[in-house]
Amino acid sequence: MLKSISILGYIGMVGGLLALLVLRALFSRSPFVIAPQAASLVLFLWARITFGWRSYHVAANPTEGGLVRSGPYRYIRHPIYTAMCVFAAAGIAAHWSPGAALCGALILVSTAARMWAEEKLVTARYPDYAHYASETWRMIPYVF
C-alpha cells in the first residue's frame, strides 16, 4: 500500500510539473523567479550528490547503507522534494492563474503523500529514523 501511494505521489509530482510546463507557467525571465529556481537547483544537486548514486526508485524503497545525515540532510529530511516544490512555486507565483494554482496544489498534495509513505517505510527499516526526524525539519527549517 505504501509503495502504491509513493508511486501515485510521484506521478502527481511529475504530472503537475509537466502541466506547468504546458501552461508556460514554470519558467520566467524575471530575476525574482530565476533566483529561487537557481537556488532550488543547487539544493537538488547538493542533495543528490550527498545521497550518492545508491539508488533512485519511482516507488519509495529504503536503500542499503543507512540514513544519510550530512549535507542538506543535516537540516531537512526531504531536500529534493523541497527543491522541486520551491522551483514550481516560483514559476506559479510568476504566472498566477487558477490552472497554475491547481498544478501547485497537485504537486504539494502528491509530495506530502510521497513523503508520508517514504517516512513510514524508512522508519520500518531504520528505527533510528524517528530520532533523526526529531532533530530535522521535513522541508523548510523553522516552518515545516
**Residue 27: which residues within 8 A CB-CB, separation 6 or more?**
33, 37, 91
Residue 114 C-alpha from the chain's centroid: 9
Answer whether 139's CB lies under 8 Å from 82's CB: yes
| 3-class secondary-structure state, position 76 | strand
Q: Which amino acid is at 132?
A: Y
Work out the pLDDT band at 71, boundaries 50, 70, 90: very high
SS3 content of the chain, % helix, strand, coil (to 5): 65, 0, 30
Residues in the chain: 144
Does the pLDDT value for residue 74 go beyond 70?
Answer: yes
Tens-place pLDDT, residues 133-143: 999 999 988 78
pLDDT in tens, 76-133: 999 999 999 999 999 999 999 999 999 999 999 999 999 999 999 989 888 899 999 9
Query: In this structure, what is the dihedral angle of CA atoms 132, 122, 12, 96, given to the nearest 10 degrees?
Result: 0
Percent of the chain with pLDDT over 70: 91
Average pLDDT of span 53-81: 80
Distance (Å, whole) CA 13 – CA 93 = 17
* Per-residue confidence band for 62, with pLDDT thresholds at 50, 70 and 90: low
Rounded to an integer, the average pLDDT of 23-27 is 96
